[in-house]
Structure 1
């Protein structure tokens, strides 16, 4: 590997003090890596570090090598590096980063490093004294690593840009938090992020509100994981996840059609070179049993081929009557690194679930009905509902040279769900579902069945580079992506009129529906002649971005995207006929994004951005015509800090976000599939997120959001109303303490968390409200190490004070919000035993 040196002009040579401080910083990086890992510097590790300022490159190299690295960025002003892309030893990495800077190094026999000015010809400078520093390992993939803080996220820029240099609000929920909170569903992990609210339907685990706007699409490793979503939904299990990232605000510039509130991206686990295995058994309230496993390692002697196999098997009842869940998920991945410049990975993931949909509770007047939260108005004779998801993913990264790299992704997703259940009559209108002639206590019901199948194929190709131009550092990105998603939707039964014999007393229910009612529903197409739907969603997008760094402290990001989108939904008596009459709408649009960030000091950043989004609607009006695209626009400004030796990251943001042509049900049409645009809505607010460590033993993740989300332009009398399920005030705080200074208590840890929400309107008409709540959670754990094996026993209690609260209402997807209120679980205890080796 080349190691060219540059002669330093006397007037531009750094001062002896500056040289000494740089020597200390670089010595800290190298010797901490050696001391912390206890290995020779010949071990290789994969790095992807963008070119730019030398200070930034060295800091990122230190973090990626597993080192707690601090230092003022002004110490390396005026010096640049081409970065790293490939596998390097510690020595090779420093040699590459320091190439052309006029600096070099030597490693002494006692694992210290001496930094000196490179000798050229007869000119030489005295070597600086060696400095030995011991650092702290921070390996984000290490299962023994319990740190919460994460300093980088690729979702916001599709490049390895530190969060402190990204002029957007981006939050990361790491695996360590999910483990401490015993999270099994993504919706629970996202309670730790400001401005994100669960907004599920039928009890599924997907569907979210971000900054006031509903988002049903979830991304997986940077690609859409559920293109068409109607009737049912996908499910995401956390056993296979490394972390969950949330990019706030419109993300259309890089990711295409998506709601302007933000983007949720789950990152799956990848194979590691070192062999690691774990198995965990959980058990708890409501007959909860869950087994998780994880295994990784190398399949070849040269460690070029690695694998990952993980998954879970879960069986549980519910605090809700007649509800249960039997779910199996499995994930396997192969990663091949044929050279330092190339990496390929192939993964497959499957999930199969038998369960009972949850129809929730209902409102009486302006509040949820005064009935026990465990009471259900489905029936114990309801047939079992099913859901399955299959994901096949491929990733390729290739570095052409030190400056240019190619990244290709592909994802094929197949989703299928089928359910049949007893439901409230008049379910898609505002008509009364309680019988007034019987004192408004008889719940009028019918039976409805739906089957959904969808296939989504999506891919993208990104080219990134590093360019030095007129004293500025540029990191350009150009890319192309494509998505094609098709789906079929079959409806049977009668979801409008009440069925004689299915009424039930809401205060004294008697269960036991004759199975013949279900047989009749399955044999009844509804609406007659229109119960088969075929949907198609297709788009192409090209985008560009440039990340410009000025004076090591100013970061400018600008770019744009152009989309071509085709959408449509046909309805008829058969799927082939529905496809034949499919009406298509073609739309195209440009989505720009501009951001600026200034770092006056290394631990603080001030940023702002302006961005827009382009969407396309799959809905149709009552007359069958398609609906114009949704357009979003956001202004945002904020402050980021890294405190306590850069271990605690905070983001404070103010935003103003508007969206036009919002699609909703047309309440003036008896057709439940008819859509109309209610006009415009806007959301504005303040968000605060914190994550990391205050001391070696005290970790936290917390947030607060003030959100003012309202309908500002409407054609059906809703103008000025608050948007549904969006509290004005919400937040959470989770603290974990690991005992470290008392040998007798070593291995013990405990945590306490509060998750709170203010009052929320249950629907856009603001006819009823969900009361505010504060939920207290706690956990305690003990771990014991046996050489290379660790045994951990843990107890989690959710809703410690056993408070009654309501999470959300149905987003008018399977029921009007008034008859789709989903309560939170009472006090729930989960115990676990985990073995890692």
Structure 2
């Protein structure tokens, strides 16, 4: 938004009495039909994002309204999607959102759509302020209306039905459209998660190119992006889990509005992060209009899940609003002895004391009881030829727990139409406690099958670990719009701070086989005596150093300038300077470990440069060069700390908005390198000792698309060609492919909504295919995971019940019941050869959802 000067513009002082008198006369004499019509009948609408002219035509037909407007007013404008129960007033506001257009009721059934006109409140503010500028002619630029958070993509509390998203805050921390941003960023909107019935972010991220799951202990808390592993996830732009301990609780989807993935190094705005990219979760926000929903799901393996969502205004003037949503899930698994019992609650409030100021407070609490899953193992160069349902834990295993608490705060204040300040704060508390039966020698490369039994006996021991972390992080951003020498500048200046501490306690002999715990892999007999668990919990291991204390602290300052020339050329430049302190101490108690805490300090500069040219309104080409800075928090076998990881990327690409701006696509080529990669030291008796492989390189081509092809056909899909290899190494791995990275992967999900055939209106159905070629199971390339193609499908029907809507839906995942393997452990809790995680067989889910 820019404030341009002209001869007809009065600046900095007062508007003329003539202008005020005209405005007052207009307001006083205008009929109050907008006030009257708010009481008209609320009804259900389902109008997809399309040309504004087409959307208004559909609204007029469905609402029985007469809409009047010149054709040029709506030319080349796109509507917001509309799905849910609305009054005519709210429906119009939704469709016209971000269009710079207003409406007014001339009688109960007639509406005029026109360019935005200044209201009486606007003019009084202008008259009283030295900071506002106004066009004396009453036309021209869009007018200031207070802060607009790009994260707030819900409309009156209702979840958007469209697959298309044109803005993503994670790329630049500003409201720059994706088409004008010279980096690759993809968004999975809430509508996709609803249609696919995903319960965690792992399922949502299957829709993004070059993103692969990489679980540990069976939890979906680790991912590979552009070839490089990352277990760090951001929430509304801030780190959502502890750093040093590398652990995170599940991320349930109930509170998510969308998931954004920024490809490539993101250190310039976010600090320490893996160079492959950043996953940012955008949560639901309180809304002014009341909305309630309740959903019950049920499915295979005794799956039951309840989701709820409630939002609305607390005060009559809408200055205070609330939201309360959450979920409860209880299920068994296709894996023997595995289960999950999880609850999440998310209360939040938003206060808007004025049009220019907004404050939000939100809490997210998740607790789950579950059973650690150690996965399967490899024999030779393939996963073992045993049923994927078979588990080598035990039905007598104690219940494991995982929990997290987030406390978030967000403050936004717009000084005027051009300058806005934002402050975010997030406190994260993550705790996990698990004890499980695991393969012996699990932190070395030694074999875990007893050769004296003909390699039939699986050698096991018992291992317990307790992890806690507390992370406090905040940032302060100042954004502004400037005009200098005929160029437009969108400028960002920011600072951030993070402090994270954590503890790690290990017990049980996790290297040597425990006599009496061996089990036949082909004919297992279960039932471990409880005394084995008691003995493990009474055994500190390693003796004298089984308590660890971690501490991370960093400060960062950053700047960014997005320059626009001739409305076609966009130049993005910026940089960040980091100061990072890391350390890990070990001892026979946490106090001894903290007293023994070594400290390493690193600092570094991370620049980013990008350029984008937009020859047409629907297409742009771009390129960027960017780097990243990390601070390792591991030690070698000799106790030495490791130099920071650094990444560098070159990328070029093409972006389009096709089918009247309803389908967004990104085609990208990238070349990415990473140095000082931290991995486990195979030659050390210490299972937590680390060493640097040296350097790895990933390069490839990506294609992502999301949106609508027609009013009834929606699509989200991707393809990735990835060549990720170790390029420098001291232990003989040079030239090997990086583990769990397929050379070819992709997905295509299609949804068809019937809108224009009366007997079937409300029916939707869709199908998706998810595929990956074979992958190396470990960095040593000793075995491979076979390629796979998985087919999913769904059908739903929405039925209007007065002012409410009832939606019945049925989903099938892995329709053809194919056997496949998702990933291997990233050597976090086990070597990859004994941590192979299979995908689920055919799974059916039914759901009933009531919205009102």
TM-score, normalised via structure 2 length: 0.86
Structure-2 residue corresponding to 1:540? 555
Separation (CA, whole Å) in 2 of partners of 1:31 and 1:358: 48
Q: Is residue 412 of structure 2 the alignment partner of residue 375 of structure 1?
A: no
> In structure 1, how many angstroms separate the alpha carbons of the residues matched to 2:486 and 2:97?
21
Which residue of the other structure, out of 837, 846, 851, is the alignment partner of 1:822? Answer: 837
Matched with 2:701 is 686
The answer as to 2:276 corresponding to 1:239 is no
- Corresponding position of 1:123: none
Partner residue, 1:576: 591
Q: 1:304 to 1:731 in 2, by over 3 A?
A: same
Please state if 1:422 is matched with 2:437: yes
Q: Find 1:266's aligned residue among 260, 281, 303.
A: 281
Tell me if 1:211 matches 2:226. yes
> Could you say which residue in structure 2 is the equivalent of 1:26?
73
The number of residues matched between the two structures is: 759
- Compared with structure 1, are the counterparts of its residues 294 and 282 closer, same or farther at alpha carbon in structure 2 (3 Å cutoff)? same
Deviations 1:278-329 (A, max 9, x none): 0000000000000000000000000000101000000000000000000000
Deviation at 1:7, TM superposition (A): 4.9
Tell me how far apart the structure 2 counterparts of residues 633 and 258 of structure 1 sit (CA, whole Å): 13
Contact 1:231-1:814 within 8 A present in 2 as well? no
Find the aligned partners of 1:516 and 1:35 in 2 and give their Cα distance: 60
Residues of 1 paired with 2:192 and 2:81: CA distance?
A: 28
Partner of 1:72: none
**Cα pair distance change 1:468/1:551, threshold 3 Å:** same
Does residue 715 (structure 1) correspond to residue 762 (structure 2)? The answer is no
Once the two structures are superposed, the pairs formed by residues 420-819 of structure 1 within 5 Å of their partners are 420-819=435-834
What do the CA deviations read for 1:487-543 (whole angstroms, capped 9, x no partner)? 000000010000000000000000000000000000000000010000001100000
Please state if 1:62 is matched with 2:89. no
Quote the offset at 1:40 in angstroms.
6.0
State yes or no: 1:154 paired with 2:169: yes
Q: Distance in 1 between matches of 2:477 and 2:386?
A: 54
Rounded Cα–Cα distance in structure 1 between residues aligned with 2:91 and 2:336: 60
> 1:403 offset after TM fit, Å?
1.5
Q: Which residue of 2 aligns with 1:340?
A: 355
Distance, in Å, in 1 between the alignment partners of 2:262 and 2:499 is: 23
Q: Deviations over 1:404-435 (max 9, x none)?
A: 11000000000000000000000011101000
Distance in 1 between residues matched to 2:840 and 2:78, nearest whole Å: 50
The one-character-per-residue Cα deviations of 1:462-499 (angstroms, maximum 9, x if unpaired) are 01111110000111111000000000000000100000
Instruction: Give the Cα–Cα distance (whole angstroms) in 1 for the partners of residues 78 and 642 of structure 2.
Output: 62
SS for the counterpart of 1:521 is: helix
Contact 1:4 1:99 in 2 (8 A): no
Matches for 1:94-493 after TM superposition, within 5 Å: 104=138, 143=158, 145-228=160-243, 230=245, 232-493=247-508
| Deviation sequence 1:27-73 (CA, Å, 0-9, x none) | 5599989999875699999xxxxxxxxxxxx999318999xxxxxxx
Q: Pick closer, same or farther for the CA change 1:31–1:429 going to 2, 3 Å.
A: closer
Gaps of 5+ in 1: 10-21, 46-57, 67-80, 93-97, 106-114, 117-137
Whether the aligned pair in 2 keeps the contact of 1:209 and 1:261 (CA below 8 Å) is yes
Q: Distance in 1 between matches of 2:370 and 2:80?
A: 49
Unaligned ranges ≥5, structure 2: 10-68, 104-114, 127-131, 142-152
CA RMSD across the alignment: 2.9
**Structure 2 vs 1, CA of residues 168 and 103 (structure 1 numbering), >3 Å: closer, same or farther?**
farther
CA distance in 2, matches of 1:204, 1:103: 61
| Matched position secondary structure for 2:98 | helix
User: What is the CA distance between 1:746 and its match in structure 2?
Assistant: 1.0
Cα deviations by residue, 1:172-199 (Å, 9 ceiling, x for unpaired)? 1000000000000101100000000000
Deviation for aligned residue 1:806:
0.2
Range that drifts further, 806-815 or 227-236: 227-236
Shift of 1:229: 5.2
Tell me the equivalent position of 2:23: none
Deviation at 1:24, TM superposition (A): 4.5
Residue 390 of structure 2 aligns to a residue in which SS?
Answer: coil
Distance in 2, matches of 1:506 and 1:31, equals 60
Between the aligned partners of 1:99 and 1:44, the Cα distance in structure 2 is: 26
Secondary structure of the residue aligned to 2:528 is coil
Structure 1 residues 144 and 585: alpha-carbon distance in aligned structure 2, compared to 1, 3 A threshold: closer
Distance 2:135 2:469 in 1: 55
Please report how far the alpha carbon of residue 230 of structure 1 lies from its aligned counterpart in structure 2 after TM superposition: 3.0
**What is the aligned partner in structure 2 of residue 832 from structure 1?**
847
Q: Assess if the C-alpha contact under 8 Å between 2:156 and 2:288 holds in 1.
A: no
Secondary structure at the aligned position of 1:463 is classed as strand
Q: Relative to 1, partners in 2 of residues 1:205 and 1:746: Cα closer, same or farther, differing over 3 Å?
A: same
Say whether the 8 Å CA contact 2:461–2:510 is kept in structure 1: yes
Cα distance change on mapping 1:330 and 1:364 into 2, 3 Å: same
The verdict on how the C-alpha distance between 1:88 and 1:512 changes in structure 2, with shifts beyond 3 A counting, is: farther
Quote the Cα distance in structure 2 between the aligned partners of 1:31 and 1:167: 22
